[in-house]
Amino acid sequence: MESPPTTTPKIQHLIETRFSLRTSRNPLTREWLDYRLGLLRKYTLPSVAAQTVSSFTWLLFCDESTDSEVLEQLHSEERRLSTFEVALTSGTSGPLDVVRSMVKPETDVLITTRLDSDDAIAARYVELIQTYAAPFHQSGHVRLLVNCPRGYRLDTREGPRLYRDWMPNSPFHSLFERPRQSEPETVLAAAHEGLRKRYADRQRLETLRTGHTGGHSRMHQHYPTHQDESMPAWLIVVHEGNMVNRIPPTAHEQAVGAQPTGITLGA
Amino acid sequence: MPIERPRCLRELSVWLAGSDELAASLRTVCEVNVLHPADWHERLQDAHASFLLVEGNNAAEARWETELDRLLEACEGAGIPRLLWFTSSPTGPRLLARCGRFDQVLAAERWQVPELEAAKAAEPTTLWPATALPIDGAAGDRSDPVVWLGGWSRDWPADWQERLASVLRGASQRGLRIVPVADLDGLPGDLQECVDTGEPRDPRAAMRRAKVVIGADPVVGSSTFVPAVVFDAAACGAAVLTPHDFVTIHEMAVGKVAEGTWRNMVPIVHDGEITVEELDRLLDDEQYRIEVVGHMGRIVANNHTYAHRVATLASAARYSVVYDAVEPVAV
C-alpha cells in the first residue's frame, strides 16, 4: 500500500471573531458594547484562554470607531492572553485585509476558524483542528472545510438550560487553505464580502444574522467538508440579544445541573 | 495485531460486522475485513484493525446475538476502538442494550440520539447514509419522468403509509414508475399499475433514466429517517423529491435559483398536491431541473460520499484523516 509523503507543513492558525464591526452609519452604542463585552468575558475569552495549545492567534475585529474605553478594556485582556489580538478595521481596511496582511510567506497551511463573540469552544478544539493540517497538506484539496457537528446550546434566558446539539453546518467552521497557491479566502469569506459592501456603501442592513445568505450554514455547498465527530466541540450561548435564539429541534435537553464537557467558562 | 495510526483513508483497515452492501460501499474507500459470527476469531489472528464497526440493523442484530459480546471483549482487550452505526430505524433492543460497550454510537436518524443517550451510549451522535456511486449523471436526455425505487410494509405507521401513498398518487399523475427493490406487499391497489413488471431493473440504471426520483426509503417508514436514495439519485443526475423531513436540518440543500430567491433543492413533499406542484416545476422547466441537479451533485460531492463517512467514522475512532480531493462537479 502506497503511503503519503511524510512532511511537516508550516501552519498558521487564525481564529476570527467579529466584535464591534459597524452595521450602520451610526457607531455602536456603549450600552450594546458593554453587553457584548460581558458575554465575551463570560464565555468566549475563558474558553480560548483554556486551549491546550498556544500555536494560534485569536483576532477580535473591532471598528476603529469603537468606544475608546471599551477598546482599552479589550487591550487589557490582550495583555493577559498572549494568543489574543485586537484587530482594528476601517473603511479602507476590513477584516479580510487584516487577515491577508498577517499571512506569513512561508505558511504552507492557513487555518481560519470562525468564532462568534458570545460563544465558546472546547479546550481541545484548536489542538484537534490542527491535527488535520498534515492530512490536508498531503491531500489534493485546494481548500477543505472542517466542521465539528457536536456541541451544546446553553439557554441563559431561563434556568440556565443545557442542550446537546448537532450541526452539520455549525458557526464554528475551520477553513484549510494553501496561501502559497492562491490568495486566502478565509472562513469569513461570505461575511467579508458583506462587510466590504457595507463599509463601501455605509448602508444600513436590516439584520445582521448568523446564517445570512452565503454564510456559515451554506459553506458546505461551496467547499469539500469534513465532519469530525470525536468530541462536543462548541457551545452556543442563547441570550436575549441573539438575532437567532430559538432552540432547534435537533437539540435535546440535558439533566438539570449538567455541565458542558470539556469547555471552560467564566464565573 | 498492531494498531497503526492511519495517515489517510487508504491506510484505514476496518473490521466490519455488518451487511455485504455496507462492506461494498466501504471498500470503495478503505480496506475492509468482514467478520462472521462463526469464524471471526480466526480472521482476527492475521489482520490488523484501525477500528471495529458494527452495523446496527435487524440482520446484524440477529446474526451476532451470541458472538457480539465476545467480539467486543476481544477488541477491548486489544485496544481497538469499537463503533456502532445504526444504519436503519428503529433501533433493535439487543444492540440498544449493548450501547454502553462501544466507544461511540452513531445513528442515521438524529431523533434516535436521546434514546441512545438513555441507553448509556457513550458520545451518541448522528451519521447519515451516503452514496457509493460515482457522481457522474448528466441531467439531460432521460426517458422516465419520475421513478421510485419502491418497497412497502404493512408494519409502517399508518400516518407514514398515508403520506407516502398520497405523494405517490401525485407522482402517478406525471408518469410514475415504481421499480421494486424491496417487498411491495401492502402497496395500495391503485398504485399497482405504476409498478414496473418487466425485467428486473438495476436500481442505478433506473435512477440514471429518471428525470426525478422520489426519495422515499423502501424499507424504513419513518418521517425523520434519512434515506440513502436521496444521495444515490443525486449522484445519478436525477432531481429528488422526498417525503422524509430531514432535509431541513441546517439547510442541507438550499440553493440560489435566482438573485434573492432561494429554494430547497430537495423539496419535502407531504401530499399529492404539493408533489404535483414540485414535479410540474422540475419536469416543465428543463433548465431549472438541470440547475438543481448540478447543484445537488456538487453538494453530494462535497459532503455525502462514503469517503466522507469513512473519514468521519475514523474521527470517531480518534484518527484525523481526510478523504482525497475529487474533481469538482460542474454546475
Higher pLDDT, B210 or A198: B210
Tell me the average pLDDT across B163-170: 98
pLDDT of residue A199: 46
Tell me the average pLDDT across B177-186: 95
Higher pLDDT, B194 or B47: B194
Give 10-residue mean pLDDT values along chain A (267 residues): 65 96 81 95 97 98 95 97 96 90 97 96 98 94 95 90 91 96 87 51 33 58 92 94 76 87 90
pLDDT of residue A211: 33
pLDDT of residue A206: 31
The percent of residues above 90 in pLDDT, for chain B, comes to 67
User: Is B299 in the A-facing interface, judged by CB distances under 8 Å?
Assistant: yes
pLDDT of residue B166: 98
Judging contacts by C-beta atoms under 8 Å, the chain B residues touching residue A130 are none
Q: Quick one: closest CA in B to A224, which residue?
A: B302
Nearest to B110 among A166, A221, A223 (CB): A166
pLDDT of residue A194: 53
Nearest to B302 among A138, A220, A252 (CB): A220
Higher pLDDT, A186 or B330: A186
Q: CA of A40, closest CA in chain B: separation in Å?
A: 26
CATH number of the domain at B9-128+305-325, please?
Answer: 3.40.50.2000
Judging contacts by C-beta atoms under 8 Å, the chain A residues touching residue B5 are none
3-state SS string for chain A: CCCCCCCCCCEEEEEEEEEECCCCCCCCCHHHHHHHHHHHHHHHHHHHHCCCCCCCEEEEEEECCCCHHHHHHHHHHHHHCCCEEEEEECCCCCHHHHHHHHCCCCCCEEEEEECCCCCEECCCHHHHHHCCHHHHHHCCCCEEEEECCEEEEEECCCCCEEEEEECCCCCCCEEEECCCCCCCCCCCHHHHHHHHHHHHHCCCCCCCCCCCCCCHHHHHHCCCEEECCCCCCEEEEECCCCCCCCCCCCCEECCCCCCCCCCCCCC
Q: Quick one: closest CA in A to B115, which residue?
A: A252
pTM: 0.91
Q: Quick one: closest CA in B to A252, which residue?
A: B114
User: Is B8 in the A-facing interface, judged by CB distances under 8 Å?
Assistant: yes
> Which amino acid type is present at position B41?
H
CB pair distance less than 8 Å for B320 and A166: no
Higher pLDDT, B59 or A74: A74
Cα–Cα distance, B177 to B171 (Å, whole number): 9
pLDDT of residue B329: 47
pLDDT at B214 over 60: yes
Count of CB atoms situated within 10 Å of the CB of B33: 17
Tell me the average pLDDT across B54-79: 89
What topology does CATH give the domain B144-303?
Rossmann fold (3.40.50)
Q: CA of A223, closest CA in chain B: separation in Å?
A: 6
- Tens of pLDDT along A136-147? 999 989 999 999
pLDDT of residue A6: 57
Q: Which of B41-45, B122-126, B169-173 has the highest mean pLDDT?
A: B169-173
- Tens of pLDDT along B1-31? 445 688 889 999 999 999 999 999 999 999 9
Enumerate the domain spans of chain B: 9-128+305-325, 144-303
Q: CA of B7, closest CA in chain A: separation in Å?
A: 7
Q: Quick one: closest CA in A to B104, which residue?
A: A230
Judging contacts by C-beta atoms under 8 Å, the chain A residues touching residue B117 are 164, 252
Strands A252-253, B13-17: pairing kind: unpaired
Cα–Cα distance, A175 to A112 (Å, whole number): 5
Judging contacts by C-beta atoms under 8 Å, the chain A residues touching residue B298 are 221
Judging contacts by C-beta atoms under 8 Å, the chain B residues touching residue A231 are 123
Tell me the average pLDDT across B200-229: 92
Domain B9-128+305-325 matches domain B144-303 at the CATH topology level: yes
pLDDT of residue A4: 53
User: Is B51 in the A-facing interface, judged by CB distances under 8 Å?
Assistant: no
Q: CA of A179, closest CA in chain B: separation in Å?
A: 17
pLDDT of residue A212: 34
Q: pLDDT band at residue B233, thresholds of 50, 70 and 90?
A: very high
User: Is B123 in the A-facing interface, judged by CB distances under 8 Å?
Assistant: yes
Q: CA of A129, closest CA in chain B: separation in Å?
A: 9
pLDDT of residue B167: 98
Tell me the average pLDDT across B166-194: 96
Helix, coil or strand: residue B134: coil
What number is the ipTM of this complex? 0.91
- Tens of pLDDT along A119-132? 999 999 999 999 99
User: Is A227 in the B-facing interface, judged by CB distances under 8 Å?
Assistant: yes
Q: Quick one: closest CA in A to B127, which residue?
A: A229
Nearest to B7 among A3, A149, A250 (CB): A3
